[in-house]
Every structure is written in structure tokens, then in C-alpha cells.
Amino acid sequence: MSAGQPVPAVGAPSYGWRLASVRGIPIYLGRSWPFFAIFVVFVLGSKVTQPTTLEQGGTYGYAVGLGYALLLLASVLLHEGAHAVTAARTGHRVDRIVADLMGGHTVYSGEQSRPGASAVIAIVGPVTNLVIALLAYVAYQQVPPSTAYLLLGALYYSNLFVGLFNLVPGLPLDGGFVVDALVWKVTGDRNRGLIVAGWVGRVLTVPVVLGYVGWGVRGGATQPTQLIVNFAIAGLVGAFLWAGATNAIRVGTTGRAIQRVTMARVLRPIALVGVGESLAQAMQRTGPVQGAVIAVDEGGRPMGIVDVAAANAVDAAHRAQVTVASVVARQPDGWVVAADPDSSDVSGVIDAIVSRAKSPQGMPQIVLVVDRSGRPLGTVSLADLDAALDA
């Protein structure tokens, strides 16, 4: 599981085909989904029996298979829509909903999240599937053998399975986010919650995969072709679960490493010069500096970083006639970050840098840290952050 934005601009990442939007949240059909649909159509289509003629497979079977694939898509979108609407109502900025090969996912900002809200956002997805299963079952009991009967039956069983499967208490499944929220609530550490839920997800991957294979064999999947398909699906599900759990552990471990890096460790000193000053005045006043030289306007607002090499290249006889503005290197949007200088970690600075990654100018390599009043404190570079995290 994982918020609205317009269709991505040129150069922005593509999430697939945009289908619609709900409350400003764009819904995309991932480019991998047609492969899933084709698989469902061919696997189910060959097994469907026409209710009146009792003919198996054929055009009728594949048509029912296509109908089932579309019902699955609707179920996935309702599941993810429940995540998205709940996330929006609990104060999160929801970026997008995507249906793809592995089902679907909802992307939303987690900066303002709390354990309780995180658990509720997670649980509404599988609950939605279980409600769909209940409604499909009630309708299924009321109709005679027909195409609707076949589709309602398939809708019931698939949503019952998806709802229960997603309640498995390990990441990346929704039940894992509930475990994450519980550990987070008890310990006060979201990163510890991710690590614990990730390891639970890893541990549960093996019995889930073996259980799926055993269920298939017990259900009659004993022919070579059936066994190959069964093992392929089990392998795909196992790889998805293991990769998601591993990613959660990695994110949690990185987050805990970030918590150990203090602002003082990566904050470099700066010198401030007026953008309208002459180079002679600025260089005489600052002298040799250990860190960056920041040009500010008359109101004290940062305008850019002085290119010291370019300033030194100006002939000394002409520096009184050249202003600082001529040697200022303009920075990408978002290069100024507000932070608490007494912060025990640099997570706020990292979040601010990463949030600029999607801008046309890309992620800034160096940021100017200012306090809440806008007073410049120093610079932090990505290289220094990487070195501190590696250490």
C-alpha cells in the first residue's frame, strides 16, 4: 500500500494510462496490468463451462474470463480507493492510485501520519474487499446458473481471498501496516515498526508460498502444465512479498541511521555577502572562508551561492567595479530549507531535499539551512549526508 496531481508533465515519470480521478486523486492503469488481464483470460477462459450447453472453454469461456478480469480491476480500484479516501480524510496528501500487475497501490505523503491513522488507512482496503465478497455472495445465492452466476461466484471467492490475504500481518501487505502501527504506537519509533513488520513479512513469506502450492495440488493441479502455472504464481507472489518486506526493513534501518546523524555533524559554516556589494568589499570583509559564501539581498533573503573561483579570477584592479551579483551561481528551487538547528537528527532536511526530487531542476546537491525566522545557519550537502550515513 502505499496522493491530487495532474497528468505528469513531459519528463515526469509515467504511471500508465490515466483512467479518471476521485476527489482530485488521479487513477492510473499501470502498463503491466494488461499482462495480468491476459493471464486471467487464458487461465480462466479454458476452464469455464457454459451453463446451458455445458461446453467448456471456447469463445464463451474467454469472454467470461475477460469479464472476470474487469471485475478484478474494479475490486482493486475500490480497495485502493478506500485507502486513498481515508488517507485524504486523515490529512494526508494523496498523490495517485495505480492498478498494476501485482494488484495495485496507493501513494500518499506520510510526513504527518500517526499510528492510529496509519492502521485505519491500511485496514479499510481489505475490509472493502470483504464487503464486496459479502454483497457478491448474497447476489450469487439469488441468481440461477448463468453468466451472472459465474461472475458473481468468481467475484465472491476472489474478494474473500484478497481481503483475508491482505490481513496477513507482515509487510508489504495491509496487515503488515497494522503491525507497523502497533509497534510504532508502543515504542514511539516508526522505523522500528517498519523493521519488525518487515521481518514478520519475511518469516510469513515461506508458509504463504508453500500453502499456496499445497492448496493448488490439493485442488487438483497435478498435471505438468498446471503445476508449472501453480509454481510460477507462487514464485511471483513469494518474490513480491519478500521484496516488499526487504524494502520495509531497508527503509526502517536507513531511518534509524538518519536518527543518529545530528545536524551539527553535517552543517557547514557560511559567510554572508550582499548581492549588491562590490567584490572588493565582500572579499575584504569575509577573507578566507571554510564553507560556502551566500549572497543575500537587502532584506537578507538568500539569492544564491557565490562562485568563489569566478570571484578570485576577477582581476584585483577591477573588483571594486564588479558586484557580487555577477559571480552568484543560481540554485535550483527548494535549495533553502527551514530546520531547527538544535534538532537531534537530519530527517527534516532529508525529507525537504527528497521532496524536491520531482522538480524539473532535480534534487539540489546542496541546501542552505535557515531557522524558523529565515536566518541562514549553514549548508548541508548530499555528499556530506551520504558520508555521515555510511559512517
Distances (CA, A) of 284 to 275, 279, 294, 317: 15, 8, 15, 14
8 Å CB contact between 314 and 346:
no
8 Å CB contact between 68 and 75:
no
Q: What angle do CA 87, 88, 90 make, to 5 degrees?
A: 65
pLDDT 10s digits, 55-94: 776 888 889 999 999 999 999 999 999 999 999 999 898 9
What's the confidence (pLDDT) of residue 342?
Answer: 66
Number of other CB atoms surrounding residue 161 within 10 Å: 12
- Long-range contacts, 279-287 (Cβ 8 Å, 24+): 279/311, 279/314, 279/319, 279/320, 279/322, 279/323, 279/324, 279/327, 280/319, 280/320, 281/320, 282/306, 282/311, 282/324, 283/311, 283/319
8 Å CB contact between 193 and 249:
no
Residues of the chain with pLDDT under 70: 1-13, 52-53, 57, 111-112, 216-217, 219-223, 226, 341-345, 355-363
Q: Is the peptide bond before 207 cis (omega within 30 degrees of 0)?
A: no
Strand-pairing partners, residue 162, are none
The position carrying cell 545530528 is: 262
What's the confidence (pLDDT) of residue 327?
Answer: 92
d(CA 95, CA 358): 12
Longest CA–CA separation in the chain, Å: 99
pLDDT 10s digits, 272-331: 999 999 988 888 888 777 788 999 988 888 998 999 889 889 998 888 999 999 999 888
Closest CA to 164 of 174, 178, 149, 153: 174
pTM: 0.74
What's the confidence (pLDDT) of residue 42?
Answer: 86
What's the confidence (pLDDT) of residue 112?
Answer: 66
What's the confidence (pLDDT) of residue 13?
Answer: 54
The cell numbers describing 356, all together, are 524536491
Closest CA to 105 of 81, 86, 129: 81
What's the confidence (pLDDT) of residue 177?
Answer: 96
What's the confidence (pLDDT) of residue 115?
Answer: 94
